């Protein structure tokens, strides 16, 4: 399960890359971990009242990674960082409503590897698409007591399976049209994007970036 990623560019560069309004996001680059704020890109309609008329300009805002769990959760204080089952009643209402789907910018993400290091600790493995210096992970946001988001996951590709992982975050294609599909299309169409990124288009390293 992905619980750490990096976004090594500032808010202005992120907004420009995704064609989004920057707003007042103070992001300067670095690590993102559950329980911390990180930038996301929304469809831009969450504060527009009335019926939908056309497509709004995407908007970048900071949110906490990790959605508060249902009241009956074993640990109600631990946020849910990833979505394994998008058809779960906890998620499906938000996912069917495109306004709650978002892009989560990243430059690399970490998964625990199969091997252990000299000190007996599991090694970190860092993954990134070779064809995208900045990429978008598929996300969903919720408003409860905190402004939060979670990452969508899908079956792991060959590169991650080689490290013993069975799931990976959903990496969206680099073109704006398919990113717009995630932000604006109906759920039946958007759900087709929940698939593994080609391992032939990915690079990985045991060291944190730069590779």
**Whether 166 contacts 176, CB under 8 Å:** no
Cα 98 from chain centre: 15
Residue 15 to residues 40, 192, 195, Cα–Cα distance (Å): 10, 26, 25
In the chain, what are the domains? 5-48+56-205 (3.90.1680.10)
DSSP string, the chain: ----EEE-S-HHHHHHHHT-B-TT----SEEE-TTSEEEEEE-S-TT--SS--S-PPPEEEEEEESBPPPTTSSSTTS-B-EES-TTSHHHHHHHHSGGGEEEEEESEEEEEEEEE-TTSPEEEEEEEETT-SSEEEEEEEEESSSEEEEEEEEE--HHHHTTT-SEEE-BPPSSHHHHHHHHHS-HHHHGGG-SPPPGGGEEEESSPSP-
Q: What is the pLDDT of residue 75?
A: 77
Global pTM?
Answer: 0.92
Q: What is the pLDDT of residue 28?
A: 96
Give the angle subtended at the CA of 136 by the CAs of 34 and 131, to the nearest 5°. Answer: 125
Query: Which residue in 146, 32, 139 sits closest to 79, CA to CA?
Result: 146
pLDDT one-digit tens code per residue, 92-109: 999 999 999 999 999 999
pLDDT, one tens digit for every residue, the chain (211 residues): 799 999 999 999 999 999 999 988 999 999 999 999 999 999 986 654 444 555 678 999 999 999 999 877 777 778 999 999 999 999 999 999 999 999 999 999 999 988 776 666 788 999 999 999 999 999 999 987 789 999 999 999 999 999 999 999 999 999 999 999 999 999 999 999 999 999 999 999 887 665 4
Q: What is the pLDDT of residue 197?
A: 98
Contacts of 147 (CB under 8 A, 6+ apart): 61, 63, 64, 141
């Amino acid at each position: 399960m992905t619980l750490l990623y990096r976004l090594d560019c500032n808010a202005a560069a992120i907004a420009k890359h995704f064609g989004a309004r920057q707003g007042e996001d103070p992001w300067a680059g670095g690590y993102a971990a559950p329980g911390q704020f990180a930038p996301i890109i929304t469809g831009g309609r969450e504060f527009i009242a009335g019926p939908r008329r056309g497509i709004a300009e995407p908007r970048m805002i900071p949110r906490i990674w990790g959605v508060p769990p249902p009241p009956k959760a074993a640990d109600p204080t631990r946020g849910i960082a990833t979505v394994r089952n998008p058809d779960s009643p906890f998620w499906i209402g938000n996912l069917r409503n495109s306004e709650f789907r978002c892009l989560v910018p990243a430059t690399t993400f970490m998964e625990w590897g199969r091997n252990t290091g000299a000190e007996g600790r599991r090694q970190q493995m860092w993954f990134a698409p070779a064809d995208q210096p900045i990429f978008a992970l598929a996300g969903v946001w919720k408003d409860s007591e905190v402004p939060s988001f979670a990452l969508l996951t899908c079956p792991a590709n060959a590169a991650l399976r080689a490290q013993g992982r069975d799931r990976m975050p959903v990496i969206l294609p680099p073109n704006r049209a398919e990113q717009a599909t995630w932000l604006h299309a109906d759920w039946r169409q958007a759900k087709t994007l929940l698939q593994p990124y080609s391992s032939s288009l990915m690079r990985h390293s045991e060291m944190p970036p730069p590779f």
